[in-house]
Amino acid sequence: MDIHEYQAKEVLSNFGVTVPRGALAYSPEQAAYRARELGGERWVVKAQVHAGGRGKAGGVKICASDTEIQDATEGMFGQKLVTHQTGPEGKGIYRVYVEEALQIDHEFYLGFVLDRSSQRVMIVASAEGGMEIEDISADRPDSIVRATVEPAVGLQEFQGRELAFKLGLDASLVQQFVRTLQGCYRAFTELDATMVEINPLVVSGDNRVIALDAKMTFDANALFRHPHVAELRDKSQEDPRESRAADRGLSYVGLEGNIGCIVNGAGLAMATMDTIKLAGGEPANFLDIGGGATPDRVAKAFRLVISDGNVEAILVNIFAGINRCDWVAEGVVQALRETQVDVPVIVRLAGTNVEEGQKILAQSGLPIIRATTLMEAAERAVGAWRNDLSQGVVVRDPGASKSLEAAS
């Protein structure tokens, strides 16, 4: 789970990291008011979206008066900010952070990530701050310095000093730098983060080490241990399909194609999507109903997939071990009876109670296309979707007794 810059700054400052003074605003008037409260002569207004690269995209503006703040923020609120990290659809701006504008002497890059090969938290830093890390590693790979932290003892001061020297930091700043590193490391480990990025970490005109930007990502599976972090979630920044699914306890990944996939287990989801591609189609999503799914849960999953306007065919592929095919079949039938489904539905069931499941589907009288193997299911899904498009009509009426299977 991602959080906003202003939230990450608050979290990190509680761990001893120095951040600029700032305040949040929900309207241009409030932004100007916040600036007056902060005092000073120059401010930076920063669009709060879950993405970096805001500066280049017009989401970070320096202002020197009330009017400038009002003008700058009027151009932000309610707009979509498109940066190289948001994708072409952009992210909505509903909050703006107003911050004192600092005089910057130098910008550094500082990141904390999980390094899978060493199985450690890795610190990545560079004296070429301000640029994205991808660009730094492409243009100035030699400027990147790294250190891994031994979890049993935590981040050691000598490691911080070593990094400071490698970055060429002035000796008078080393202590502040080490305190920043330790604050970030503690926030990372104590709050189950998966990423902390400060880009840039700056040396200000008055010789302070300050986190000018902050980004944190948290392990969603550990949020139950950190209610204060969990409540920082901002659904306006998420794919609405994915947040609706998360609210219903389903895991959903939205994609760009037209064939909706309801599966159990991530491995089967991968195989299903591969097979759809092999058969010439494109998956619109994958939705994992998990193990032991009740008919209700399956019906919920179904409604969620249908609500995506891009979905032009639905493939249900269940390999039931813990799950029960009869429950899945009941769920599919329930959803089709209760919801207007005007796209072809293909169901492939295997495993526990498969005969009962098939019987429920067959006796439902609903136009469900059945398949036995995964390849067959994918081919039928792609075939049904193509046919549907080439005929230019949407045929399916959930009440119709004519089985599509019989028709094809």
Structure tokens at 238: 């998420």
**Interaction of residue 126 with Mg ion, rule CB under 5 A:** no
The secondary structure of residue 168, as a DSSP letter, is T
**Which entry of ligand ADP, Mg ion, none binds 101, CB below 5 to 8 A by partner kind?**
ligand ADP
What does the per-residue mask of binding to Mg ion show for 183-202, with x meaning CB under 5 A? Answer: ----------------x---
SS3 label, residue 348: strand
**Which entry of ligand ADP, Mg ion, none binds 91, CB below 5 to 8 A by partner kind?**
none
**Binding residues with ligand ADP: total (CB under 6 A):** 18
- 197 a catalytic residue: yes
Of the residues 6, 97, 109, 185, which is catalytic?
109
Of the residues 197, 312, 330, 379, which is catalytic?
197
Q: Where are the alpha helices (DSSP H) in 14-107?
A: 28-38, 66-74
Rounded to whole angstroms, how far apart are CA atoms 352 and 338?
26
Rounded to whole angstroms, how far apart are CA atoms 214 and 211?
7
* Shortest reach from residue 197's CB to Mg ion, in Å: 8
Q: Which secondary-structure segment (H or E) carries 333?
A: helix 325-338
**Interaction of residue 308 with ligand ADP, rule CB under 6 A:** no
Neighbours of 337 (CB within 10 A): 13
Selected from 173, 212, 263, 336, the binder of ligand ADP by CB under 6 A is 212
The secondary structure of residue 102, as a DSSP letter, is P
Structure tokens at 248: 């219903």
Structure tokens at 379: 């081919």
By CB under 6 A, which span of 45-53, 116-124, 181-189, 369-377 interacts with ligand ADP? 45-53
Q: Could you say which residues in the range 111-130 bind ligand ADP, by CB under 6 A?
A: 130
Selected from 111, 200, 257, 344, the binder of ligand ADP by CB under 6 A is 200
* Shortest reach from residue 132's CB to ligand ADP, in Å: 8
- 355 a catalytic residue: no
384 burial (CB, 10 Å; 0-12 / 13-18 / 19+) is buried
**Residue whose CB is nearest to Mg ion in the complex, by number:** 213
* Shortest reach from residue 54's CB to Mg ion, in Å: 7
How remote is the C-alpha of 317 from its chain's centroid?
25
Backbone angles phi, psi at 128, to 5 degrees: -95, 60
What does the per-residue mask of binding to ligand ADP show for 49-78, with x meaning CB under 6 A? Answer: ---xxxx----x------------------
Selected from 1, 7, 32, 99, the binder of ligand ADP by CB under 6 A is 99
Backbone angles phi, psi at 405, to 5 degrees: -60, -40
Instruction: Please name which of 204, 1, 228 lies closest in space to residue 99, comparing C-alpha atoms.
Output: 204
The β-bridge relationship of strands 313-320 and 259-263 is: parallel
**Which entry of ligand ADP, Mg ion, none binds 212, CB below 5 to 8 A by partner kind?**
ligand ADP
**Interaction of residue 213 with Mg ion, rule CB under 5 A:** yes
User: Known catalytic residues?
Assistant: 109, 197
Q: Where along the sequence are the contacts to ligand ADP (CB under 6 A)?
A: 20, 44, 46, 52-55, 60, 99, 101-102, 104, 107, 130, 199-200, 212-213
